[in-house]
Structure 1
Amino acid sequence: MKKNIVILATGGTIAGKAASSTDTACYQSALLPIDALIAEVPALQDIASVTGEQLAQVDSADMTHAVWLALAARINTLLASPAVDGIVVTHGTDTMEETAYFLNLTVKSAKPVVMVGALRPANVISTDGPMNLYDAVALAADDAAAGCGVLVALNDTINCSRDVTKTNTALQDAFKAPELGYLGYIQAGKPYFYRRPARKHTFAAEFDVAGLVALPKVEIIYTYVGNDSSLADAAVAAGAKGIIVAGVGNGGMSAATRQNLTDLARRGTVVVRSTRVSSGIVTRNSAICDDDCGFIAADTLNPQKARVLLMLALTRTSDPAQIQRMFFEY
């Protein structure tokens, strides 16, 4: 019997159109409705019973927390029904990794949820959207995807939403998990898994956003030669409850920045050390003594994903010890 898969559309390049069939760089995102995307891939109905809903229609640079909360709510409602076996979310690629990780922590089901997008608009030569959509539905309809958390499927690959990041501005193989690698591949509509996510997610996560209308304000501060603490001070003055530091190397920062952020942490701002480096662990009490400064180490989360986890953590606690536990568990 075919699985029942619902596609929730939010826009992005997969729904975009260019002025000509050869222009893959200059185009308008988020134009085509979900019904048009489904109609372009009639083979979808061969692998699942597919329906679609237009939840948003935006370039992913314009993605908002409000859409995140609406997505989580709708996915949880749909997956609570025995009539729905899995979800596919179409999304722009620029912020896909952030939305995917947010859903990975807020969806309350073991049923498959798959994020998908495209690096080329729908009407150009060699657009990747239709095949990506086909693969995503095939993955969401496969029993092996259950219990894996929110997955990201592009370019015939399966990625863990915690680990994946966009590594190139335009190439079709842009989505990778540096060092940790893919979870698997999709060939001829068949998923092949070679590893599974190791960290807690979805049904095992402690976060509950039901009824939330906003998320705590968390800002990212980038470090570089000669930077000072003015941006962190401004963020806190503007209402930030947390600061993510995109540090140098193993989450390092200048002595002056460290002192200022230590002062902010002692006054109640939650400070998390991530890194501007593309891969590797930010180790607790290594480049900086987190115990002395009151900081939290981001482990392997990049700055944008550390921000997602910190926002959700702050809906439950502001205790640095508890938030550090979350960074080690999720």
Structure 2
Amino acid sequence: MAHIQLLGTGGTIASRGHSTGGAVAVDASSELVDTQYGDVTVSARDVLTIGSYRLDLADLRRIADAVGQALADPGTDGVVVTHGTDTLEETAFLLDLVHTSPKPVVLTGAQRTADSPDADGPRNVAEAVRAAADEHLRGAGVLVCFNGTVRSARGARKVHTTAGSPFGGGTEVAHMVGGQLVVTATPRRYPPLPALPAAFDDIRVEIITAYPGATPDLLDHAVQLGSHAVVLAGTGVGNAGPGFAEAVKRATADGCVVVLSTRAPWGPVVPTYGNGGGIDLVEAGAIPSRDLNPFQARMLTAVLLSQGKPPEEFPEMFETYL
């Protein structure tokens, strides 16, 4: 009989209406689960009880540490993490970067609060437990399970604010058919990074978006504030307007890493254009994120910088995980 540990962190799945008029995360993780799902037993404990829009890097390290402890338990066959959907894609990717165990870690949540008449949390939890216990998903790393679909953490994005299936992207790894989990793919795994050090809590990586009329002032300001890195969410295949190439050059000269991503929801960064476009941004020192979206590129950047390596080693390390 498989045993799964469920770690609660809050989010809509743990939220109920509050006297202030807005939903607030209040439910303990033990209220989200049955103790047994068929031949799978589940134990639950709380790591945090908070809306995921309020998380900081210290909170994410706390979640990662809790997942690591759960995976180290020889009596545990997999881990489920309940999480708010707002920033679930960042936490899932971060956990995947430091995941060293063959045991699956599955993140899930809800689009409707626990006190909704049609709450979706219980079903999502049941399906996530099934995925975490499935022996065919051993070695698959960290996964996102929602509304009958299991996908890889890498590339997953919240693509709809209210839909029952809010996530897209990544690779579909499995789906539910007639109450059974059908495994369809195994994600490519990357070399796991070391456990997050305490320095991770204080790494500052800003995201700055390019748009018509944008100036590089915010990029300059981020450097002046002591940011360790900036992710530039460029337009299209990775472009930005007048002045950005010069600002990137100033930033990198000051030791601030600049990663070039795209604000487009899908597709890789492919430096193509001059006149201040992606070719000039890379020439100035920006590092293309390829298929990583700005938010997951930010997570990878923060993890790598927290290891204390000199900035000149960053491009090669970053490239390893693309």
Establish whether residue 139 from structure 1 lines up as the match of residue 131 from structure 2. yes
For residue 63 of structure 1, report the CA deviation from its aligned partner: 1.3
Establish whether residue 98 from structure 1 lines up as the match of residue 85 from structure 2. no
Letter in 2 for 1:264: A
For residue 296 of structure 1, report the CA deviation from its aligned partner: 0.5
For residue 83 of structure 1, report the CA deviation from its aligned partner: 1.0
Establish whether residue 152 from structure 1 lines up as the match of residue 152 from structure 2. no
Tell me the TM-score normalised to structure 1 length. 0.89
Q: Alpha carbons of 1:118 and 1:320: their partners in 2 closer, same or farther (altered >3 Å)?
A: farther
Q: Alpha carbons of 1:79 and 1:199: their partners in 2 closer, same or farther (altered >3 Å)?
A: closer
For residue 199 of structure 1, report the CA deviation from its aligned partner: 4.5
User: Whole-Å Cα distance in 2 between the matches of residues 174 and 231 of structure 1?
Assistant: 31
1:135-172: CA deviations, max 9, x gaps? 00000001111111110000100111111100011111
Establish whether residue 276 from structure 1 lines up as the match of residue 271 from structure 2. no
Q: Which residue is 1:48 aligned to? A: 40
For residue 124 of structure 1, report the CA deviation from its aligned partner: 1.4
User: Whole-Å Cα distance in 1 between the matches of residues 305 and 249 of structure 2?
Assistant: 19
Contact 2:103–2:138 under 8 Å retained in 1? yes
User: Whole-Å Cα distance in 1 between the matches of residues 226 and 311 of structure 2?
Assistant: 18
**In angstroms, what is the RMSD of aligned CA positions?**
2.1
Tell me the TM-score normalised to structure 2 length. 0.91
User: Whole-Å Cα distance in 2 between the matches of residues 324 and 172 of structure 1?
Assistant: 39
2:66 partner SS: helix
User: Whole-Å Cα distance in 2 between the matches of residues 104 and 312 of structure 1?
Assistant: 12
For residue 208 of structure 1, report the CA deviation from its aligned partner: 2.7
Of the candidates 262, 274, 281, which is equivalent to residue 249 of structure 2? 262
User: Whole-Å Cα distance in 1 between the matches of residues 188 and 320 of structure 2?
Assistant: 11
User: Whole-Å Cα distance in 2 between the matches of residues 184 and 106 of structure 1?
Assistant: 22
Q: Which residue is 1:310 aligned to? A: 301
User: Whole-Å Cα distance in 2 between the matches of residues 188 and 312 of structure 1?
Assistant: 40
Q: Which residue is 1:29 aligned to? A: 24
Letter in 2 for 1:314: L
User: Whole-Å Cα distance in 2 between the matches of residues 255 and 280 of structure 1?
Assistant: 24
Letter in 2 for 1:186: M
Q: Which residue is 2:223 aligned to? A: 236
User: Whole-Å Cα distance in 2 between the matches of residues 182 and 131 of structure 1?
Assistant: 19
Establish whether residue 292 from structure 1 lines up as the match of residue 283 from structure 2. yes
Q: Which residue is 1:75 aligned to? A: 67
Contact 2:208–2:219 under 8 Å retained in 1? yes
1:195-248: CA deviations, max 9, x gaps? 221251xxx313331554624210000111111111112211222010000100
User: Whole-Å Cα distance in 2 between the matches of residues 211 and 181 of structure 1?
Assistant: 31
Q: Comparing 284-293 with 121-130, which one deviates more in the overlay? A: 284-293
Q: Comparing 204-213 with 309-318, which one deviates more in the overlay? A: 204-213
Gaps of 5+ in 2: none
Q: Which runs of 4+ in 1 moved over 4 A?
A: 210-213
Q: Which residue is 1:107 aligned to? A: 99
